[in-house]
């Protein structure tokens, strides 16, 4: 079946360092979305990418959608303690599911 | 405009009892998804429903679990004869359109945390 893998699974960074998480799908995605889940919280939508090669920025966050629409990345510049949480990529499957990646848990050390 | 409302937020059940989790989607949203999340793990898809219809239940265990989204009222995830392994956070999400449409952003509820003693 379709799989959406994320690497790394865990990442610890010093505050101020950069952070990147990568998302890889076994099949082409019509669109990809990123969500953030704070510890003890629920997933919150960050952004949606639709076009091949698309790049979007939100302040210190940069999102990319691969040319083949099978992979994506989220890069955070100069992390802050407020960036702590788990970042999930997600996309619609060939069926009718909305499939979430395995997630990357980010810890920021002050 | 209230978001996705889930209740109860916390539920404790003894083995063998039934758990009913309710989800009211955002106003105007007719697509509902249920996910299960074990501690320190990802979001596992369970079921996708539209009003009165189960569209995809491929992530639901074959036994003891059922879901519905009636014409009136909230969506309900029902777990019969709970076991300790059912302890998890159950998240409901809603969207205005189907997964492959362009406006399929999911809005999540705060989750229902089930503990089975």
Mean pLDDT computed over A69-93 = 95
Closest CA to A108 of A56, A35, A39: A39
pLDDT at A13: 97
Q: What is the mean pLDDT of chain A?
A: 93
Looking at residue A43, what DSSP letter applies?
E
**Structure confidence by residue, pLDDT tens digits, A10-34:** 999 999 999 999 999 988 888 899 9
Pairwise CB contact (< 8 Å): A98 & B107: no
Pairwise CB contact (< 8 Å): A92 & B99: yes
Is residue B102 pLDDT above 70, yes or no?
Answer: no
Please report the residues numbered 56 through 95 in chain A whose beta carbons come closer than 8 angstroms to any beta carbon of chain B: 88, 90, 92-93, 95
Pairwise CB contact (< 8 Å): A97 & B105: no
Distances (CA, A) of B46 to A36, A67, B92: 20, 30, 10
Q: How many residues does chain A have?
A: 110
pLDDT at A59: 96
Query: Within 13 Å, how many C-alpha atoms sit on residue A88's CB side?
Result: 22
Contact status, residue A65 vs residue A53, Cβ threshold 8 Å: yes
**Structure confidence by residue, pLDDT tens digits, B6-51:** 999 999 999 999 999 999 999 989 999 999 999 878 899 999 999 8
User: To the nearest whole angstrom, how far is the Cα of B45 from the nearest Cα of chain A?
Assistant: 7
Please tell me which of the candidates B45, B109, B110 has its beta carbon nearest to residue A97.
B45
pLDDT at A4: 85
User: To the nearest whole angstrom, how far is the Cα of A32 from the nearest Cα of chain B?
Assistant: 10
Pairwise CB contact (< 8 Å): B56 & A95: yes
- Residue B97 CA to residue A100 CA, distance in Å, equals 18
Pairwise pLDDT comparison (B100 vs A68), residue with the higher score: A68
**Structure confidence by residue, pLDDT tens digits, B41-91:** 889 999 999 988 999 999 999 999 999 999 889 999 999 999 999 999 999
pLDDT at B99: 74
CB-CB neighbours of A1 under 10 Å: 10
CB-CB neighbours of A27 under 10 Å: 14
Q: Which residues of B touch A42 (CB under 8 A)?
A: 91, 108-111
> Chain B contact for A7, CB < 8 A?
no
pLDDT at A92: 82
pLDDT at A1: 64
pLDDT classification of A2: cutoffs 50, 70, 90:
low
């Amino acid at each position: 079946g379709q799989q959406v893998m994320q690497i790394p699974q865990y990442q610890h960074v010093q505050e101020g360092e950069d952070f990147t998480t990568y998302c890889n799908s076994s099949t082409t995605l019509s669109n990809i979305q990123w969500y953030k889940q704070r510890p003890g919280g629920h997933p919150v939508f960050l952004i949606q990418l639709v076009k091949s090669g698309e790049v979007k920025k939100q302040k210190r966050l940069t999102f990319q959608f691969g040319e083949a629409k099978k992979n994506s990345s989220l890069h955070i510049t100069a992390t802050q303690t407020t960036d702590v949480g788990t970042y999930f990529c997600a996309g619609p499957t060939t069926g009718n599911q909305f499939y979430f990646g395995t997630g990357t848990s980010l810890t920021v050390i002050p | 405009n209230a978001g996705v409302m889930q209740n109860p937020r916390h539920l404790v059940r003894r083995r063998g009892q039934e758990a009913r989790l309710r989800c009211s989607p955002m106003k105007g949203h007719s697509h509902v998804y249920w996910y299960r999340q074990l501690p320190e793990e990802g979001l596992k898809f369970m079921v996708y429903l539209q009003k009165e219809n189960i569209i995809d239940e491929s992530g639901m265990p074959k036994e003891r679990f059922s879901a519905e989204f009636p014409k009136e009222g909230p969506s309900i995830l029902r777990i019969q004869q709970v076991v300790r392994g059912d302890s998890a956070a159950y998240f409901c999400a809603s969207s205005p359109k189907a997964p492959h449409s362009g406006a399929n952003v999911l809005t999540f509820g705060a989750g229902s945390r089930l503990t089975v003693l």
